[in-house]
Structure 1
């Protein structure tokens, strides 16, 4: 299951997310989203867990819990749909 993790403090590392979610089970991947120009964190990321029961437990256990001074927003990631048009490109 792909899990969205939002409201991250900008200093949170992939290792810290792996540690937090690892308490609930196996982790396939951790991906912090960063600005492509500066490399700075955008304050959210995704954690992939292969076992849905463990992923559900992690979502319930970590949502609204503090990490580095900010309460995490944790839920199942929604599939990426069609992007809205940004208007005409002339």
Structure 2
């Protein structure tokens, strides 16, 4: 039997607000089903989604770190920025 939860329980599981859960589900980011006026989620699907998302973000961080290390080797010194000229004095008014 599938363990289903509602949006409030899903928000508690994910550590966010119910509004965030509904917004992410409407956009298709979270696996859920609109059943009448409520959202229904399968707990196993949410946990699989979280695990996959965590793996993807970890891979992105690793590749970003590797790219940063590669870029650090090929860094050119920055050109000094041009300074703004001083403001001109305003003419005196009578």
For Structure 1 versus Structure 2, the TM-score category normalised by the shorter chain is: under 0.3
Q: TM-score, normalised by structure 1?
A: 0.26
Larger CA Rg, structure 1 vs 2: 2
Q: TM-score, normalised by structure 2?
A: 0.25
